[in-house]
Structure 1
Amino acid sequence: MNELMTVVAAAKIYAFFTLIVIGFQLALTVGAPWGKLSMGGKFPGVYPKQMRIVAVFMGIFLALLALIVGIRAGWIYPEWVGISHQLIWLVIVINALGFLMNMITPSRWERIIWAPVTLIFLLCSVYIGWS
């Protein structure tokens, strides 16, 4: 398997897990009682209205990060690859902070569920960034 194929595979893995997290955010938005699984468990149960709005924006933000990853990997929008060389490092920093936050959260469930996911995001984005 050549390097381009593995970079694209990493981008597809990143996209797959992003879709899962976006689905989770959308579920929170429409009233799923999963608040204990996010934001340090500060809002157990159904998110209050203002946090539902935050969940929508989080989903959009995650999609933008995945877009940058896909572009940098050469998987989508190859004409934008130039700008992705810089933006991928922002994605890496955001993923590193996300992983750190999920490791130190007071929510046991976030550590169990989201720390591994954010580690996958971090590893994929670092691999793609260095490629």
Structure 2
Amino acid sequence: MLTTVAYAYAMICCCVIGFQIALIAGAPWGRITQGGQVDGPLPRRGRILAAVSICILAFMALSVLSIAGLVVDWPKWTIWVALAVQALSALANWITPSAPERRLWGPITTVMLLCAGYVALSA
């Protein structure tokens, strides 16, 4: 079960990374990201934030996979950092002023939080 949950978390991270790449490339999804303040494609600052998000998501996915024993052996503390960041992400997506963003990302980031939490507490 641990392996399945870790892989599920990593796959969701890959999907979210794909979303971030699309934002960087100019996808007109500003209403469902970064507070929903932009109609259409994100401005340069928003695209830079999307690029930073990719790095954070990759770290979090690798941390979860590592703690589950599926990739290189990272220190145990990395899972707690990933879990904290994931908790903040879930909270931010539930309290965003953008209703479309809340409806899309609230549930997704909550599932991610549950997966990361399961791995952290099981490993």
TM-score (norm 1): 0.89
Residue from 83, 87, 90 that aligns with 1:99: 90
Residue from 11, 26, 30 that aligns with 1:16: 11
Question: 4+ residue runs of structure 1 moved beyond 4 angstroms?
Answer: none
Residue from 104, 109, 115 that aligns with 1:118: 109
Residue-pair matches, total: 122
Percent identical = 40
> 2-side partners of 1:39 and 1:89: how far apart?
24
> 2-side partners of 1:35 and 1:76: how far apart?
34
1:110 to partner: Cα distance = 1.3
> 2-side partners of 1:102 and 1:121: how far apart?
12
> 2-side partners of 1:114 and 1:37: how far apart?
8
1:10 to partner: Cα distance = 0.7
Unmatched 5+ stretches in structure 2: none
1:44 to partner: Cα distance = 2.0
Unmatched 5+ stretches in structure 1: 1-5
- Native 8 Å contact 2:34 2:46 kept in 1: no
Aligned CA-pair RMSD = 1.0
TM-score (norm 2): 0.94
